[in-house]
Structure 1
């Protein structure tokens, strides 16, 4: 029995609370969750992977005291955290993009026991008595194990009422599409594959999800940065690499057409995915309280239909 969980149009993906790329100052990070709450965000997505558990701990701290029935938390399974015997004083996890001491390490584990242990660890770090949604996280090289171990375990947790819904979160659409067809999941999180610049998921995942009544949450709508500002910045990145020159020109062209409508690239990036009936929510990151407030506002006012039509006619949307 599939569950629909009300997430709102915009959620906050809290990797920054795990010191993604750099450490968040102690006078900055505690204000981010309250700012998101004030801005109307009620869905928060995290993972053990983010900062070796630090993001879960800080999210739990930020949510403490807020009414539990008014927000939704998703975290992920598939990477267990365990002591790192190779850690030396001063060593950090920046090789995995997180500026935290490397006292722990990740171990992929998509087995039933791994899932149950992961959930228990996450509950402890979050300081919550329940998690709403669990995603199988990046099972790219572990498809069989996820299908045999993780998904049945999550179905069990859902039937016991331990979680409300489960799914998978990945940076690709092909395997997500197989999961939609082969399991009884409720929702999927697709990062970077259904954006203003990359329509891959429209050919496989979105039709399958619509057909099966599966909710789609879209992440990485700025494609790692090229769509995050009013114009592509010098050295703009696309999918975590330098953006090709032709793509930068295309984005500039989109910005030119949108300008007379008073619409920005970030607004287009956030609102493009939600035009598809299968997409319920866009998850955005933020490093500061100001950034989450800005991001929360990108869902409205609605981009005029005339602008979408013009971009489409110019061959600039997927």
Structure 2
């Protein structure tokens, strides 16, 4: 879609929470190999946040992107939370700070870790329960940083679509990142958020298309939305995989490409912790998915009927 952004979002990006050690540590060598694989695949959009490994994900992007050969990277990060290190310099707690000074300090520290003079996108991070703080200080502060040129585009990033929709309705929002709420297993963003973004020209980045791993590899040990998967959800994911297999399509390909069926969606970001995952996900994003499969998935409730290609 053509929206508010002063640049075109790449169709596929990498989420860097795994590079910050989400669920398990990633070595420096593996992080570098992950970014080299991204360069080989032509991927140049990276989503990160100070909370990913207490700044580790941002720091790794700042140090490793150029040596990896990634050209003209487009980076989104987040604000609203400050890293409070211990006296010995090791990572400490992460605290909310929606004040003007807190937002500026967070953005400036991200710029230092990322080794950049400006950010392409900055999201207010998990601001679900802080509407008054957003209204009073956080959003005006972020807008001022955009006016100054420290940030090119601003928005909100979170895991719930209802508060995202409320913010899009109230504020001038360039782009939103919604995670886990527009997938083959969860259509929550379709009710209000996506139609609203289409009307307002707010671009949408979708994360969490695997619902924390379940749709990448449905198994009893998989995670679903950051928790152990319930048996009925596991069965549903496996059934989705069976339907895809009937058409010779990997489940991951349908999961990654599903959000593109909605015209409000500009980009999908997928978390990767290794070169192999980058290559696999990039391949899945290009795998041909026939309209007949989308129709079959719609018949069993995995795809909203109105989004099935003609």
Same-fold call, TM cutoff 0.5 = yes
2: CA distance between counterparts of 1:32 and 1:126? Answer: 17
Once the two structures are TM-superposed, the CA of residue 41 in structure 1 deviates from its matched residue by 0.7
1:165 is matched with which residue? 153
2: CA distance between counterparts of 1:156 and 1:103? Answer: 29
Once the two structures are TM-superposed, the CA of residue 4 in structure 1 deviates from its matched residue by 4.4
1:178 is matched with which residue? 166
1:309 is matched with which residue? 295
Once the two structures are TM-superposed, the CA of residue 66 in structure 1 deviates from its matched residue by 7.4
> Structure 1 119/247 Cα, relative in aligned 2: closer, same or farther at 3 Å?
same
Unaligned runs of 5+ residues in structure 1 are 88-100
Matched, 1:244 2:246: no
2:19 is matched with which residue? 17
Once the two structures are TM-superposed, the CA of residue 34 in structure 1 deviates from its matched residue by 1.6
RMSD: 2.0
Matched, 1:187 2:160: no
2:307 is matched with which residue? none
4+ residue segments displaced more than 6 Å: 66-69
Taking structure 2 as the reference length, the TM-score comes to 0.92
1:224 is matched with which residue? 212
Matched, 1:40 2:50: no
1: CA distance between counterparts of 2:43 and 2:69? Answer: 13
Matched, 1:26 2:28: yes
> Structure 1 165/252 Cα, relative in aligned 2: closer, same or farther at 3 Å?
same
1: CA distance between counterparts of 2:122 and 2:91? Answer: 25
1:277 to 248, 263, 268: 263
Q: For residues 113-132 of structure 1, what are the structure 2 equivalents within 5 Å?
A: 113-132=101-120
Unaligned runs of 5+ residues in structure 2 are 305-310
Q: For residues 96-111 of structure 1, what are the structure 2 equivalents within 5 Å?
A: 103-111=91-99
Which segment is superposed worse, 284-293 or 294-303?
294-303
> Structure 1 23/247 Cα, relative in aligned 2: closer, same or farther at 3 Å?
closer
2: CA distance between counterparts of 1:165 and 1:304? Answer: 35
2: CA distance between counterparts of 1:118 and 1:315? Answer: 42
Contact 2:39–2:69 (CA<8 Å) still a contact in 1?
no
2: CA distance between counterparts of 1:228 and 1:26? Answer: 24
2:79 is matched with which residue? 77
Contact 2:245–2:251 (CA<8 Å) still a contact in 1?
no
1:293 is matched with which residue? 279
Contact 2:5–2:203 (CA<8 Å) still a contact in 1?
no
Contact 1:5–1:165 (CA<8 Å) still a contact in 2?
no
1:206 is matched with which residue? 194
2: CA distance between counterparts of 1:60 and 1:268? Answer: 32
